[in-house]
Amino acid sequence: MEWDIEPAARHRLVPSLILQPLVENAVKHGISKKIDGGTLSVQACIRNGQLLVEVKDTGVGFTDHSQLYDRGLGLRSVRDRLVRLYGEAHAPQVESTPGQGTAVRLCIPLDQQEVGKRA
């Protein structure tokens, strides 16, 4: 597992139970299904007034994005909560390439949170 958290992002909080399902999905559906395993990375930075968080794996990846939010509860729950809190523009962005892995990116507006305040 790799972490790359910029100092400015270290004291920013994300809503509860937003990252856990993404990490679980990366391990369960990506890394564990790849014969030689893989790497899970979490990156966070501040850009243009937003906290950007990326959960990325080097697992098996996938091609069918059509039912991305219909297959299970994890990603759908994350999407629903972020959209409810911050609007449709803040839905997770998902990119996946078969054999190379998957990346899920979140954008959380900083003007709607305070440093150290639990969401």
pLDDT of the chain, 119 residues: tens digit per residue: 999 999 999 999 899 999 999 999 999 999 999 999 899 999 999 999 999 999 999 999 988 766 666 677 889 999 999 999 999 999 999 999 999 999 999 999 998 654 444 44
41 forms beta bridges with 2, 56
Beta bridge partners of 106: 53
What is the secondary structure of 59-106 as a DSSP string?
Answer: S---S--TTTTTS-SHHHHHHHHHHHHH-GGGSPEEEEETTTEEEEEE
pLDDT of residue 118: 46
Measure CA 67 to chain center.
Answer: 17
Return the number of other C-beta atoms located less than 10 Å from residue 36's C-beta. 6
pLDDT for the residue 73: 83
pLDDT (0 to 100) of residue 62: 87
pLDDT at residue 64, rounded to an integer: 77
Domains of the chain: residue spans and CATH: 2-112 (3.30.565.10)
How far is residue 4 from each of residues 8, 10, 26, 31, 105, measured CA to CA in Å? 12, 10, 17, 19, 14
Strand partners, 97: 101
Q: Which pLDDT score, from 0 to 100, does residue 112 have?
A: 67
| Both structure tokens of 117 | 């305040």
pLDDT score at 114: 47
